[in-house]
Amino acid sequence: VESATELFSKAFESDPTIAYCLANLTQKQRDDCRPRVIRAIITAATLNAGTIDEVNDWKCCGAVLTPGHMMDDFMSLIRSGMPFAMWSMGFWGCYRAITEMGPMSMACKEKVLPGQGKCYYILYVATAPSGRRQGLCSALVKHYQQLAVRDEVPIYLEATSRYSCSLYQKLGFSVVDEFTVGRGKHATDGRLEDGGPGVKIWGMIWRPEVCTKT
């Protein structure tokens, strides 16, 4: 968990959805809070049959929830340190995560996988600077696709940038829907901005049928 937390924290330093949630904090507070939140999320995932997978000695890493599992178990959230992580986000960070981004994210997933349909849910995939342009991210995602084919379930994720959305599309993912958080209050990079367009998020899915047809 610690190695994954370190890699994800650095890779998502400028992630617009994280910046959106932590927009009211100082830079130091954001740098302290980001790994706490990421650690809590991936710990909660591993406590609920999630996996952390690394490539080439942690040059690339992914965290995924396996089919039929959620992160809403109360004791798992306590054990993961989620309450402390949420506290460090401050009132507005918690408010944004719980009342806006969370419900919109669930609604997006519900459109394509109604009734808590089983799937692999990719939480994070990131590559260290030393591992970029080596195809490691694609290799890891293809590994998840092989698991999805084996288990006959789709893969769901949410892309938080046009670049990552484009990357996943090249790997066979299709956009389910787009939703925007912080509209009128945040810039596209998540910073506070009066009248800003907000942060766009792309819900995406990959189905095993895509593999069998290609």
pLDDT the model gives residue 65: 94
Question: Exposed e or buried b for every residue in 79-117, given b needs 16+ CB within 10 A?
Answer: ebbbeebbebbbeebeebbeebbeebbeebbeebbeeee
pLDDT exceeds 90 at position 203: yes
C-alpha 203/C-alpha 174 separation (Å) is 9
pLDDT the model gives residue 209: 82
C-alpha 49/C-alpha 64 separation (Å) is 9
pLDDT exceeds 60 at position 197: yes
pLDDT exceeds 60 at position 214: no
C-alpha 47/C-alpha 87 separation (Å) is 21
**CATH fold label, 2-213:** Aminopeptidase (3.40.630)
C-alpha 123/C-alpha 42 separation (Å) is 8
* CB neighbour list of residue 60: distance below 8 Å, 6 or more residues apart: 54, 125, 126, 127, 128, 131, 136, 137, 139, 140
Interval 78-135: pLDDT, tens: 999 999 999 999 999 999 999 999 999 999 999 989 876 799 999 999 999 888 888 9
pLDDT the model gives residue 210: 61
Query: Which tokens belong to 131?
Result: 């591992």
Interval 11-66: pLDDT, tens: 999 999 999 999 999 999 999 999 999 999 999 999 998 999 999 999 999 999 99
- CA 77, 124, 25, 92 torsion: positive or negative? negative
Q: Report residue 211's pLDDT band, with 50, 70 and 90 as the boundaries.
A: low
Q: Report residue 213's pLDDT band, with 50, 70 and 90 as the boundaries.
A: low
pLDDT the model gives residue 116: 67
User: Which pTM does this prediction carry?
Assistant: 0.92
pLDDT exceeds 70 at position 145: yes
Q: Report residue 71's pLDDT band, with 50, 70 and 90 as the boundaries.
A: confident
DSSP string for residues in the chain: -HHHHHHHHHHTTT-HHHHHHTTTS-HHHHHHHHHHHHHHHHHHHHTTT-EEEEETTTTEEEEEEPTT--S--HHHHHHHTHHHHHHHHHHHHHHIIIIIIHHHHHHHHHHHSTTT---EEEEEEEE-GGGTTTTHHHHHHHHHHHHHHHHT--EEEEE-SHHHHHHHHHTT-EEEEEEEESTTTB-TTS-B-TT---EEEEEEEE-HHHHHH-
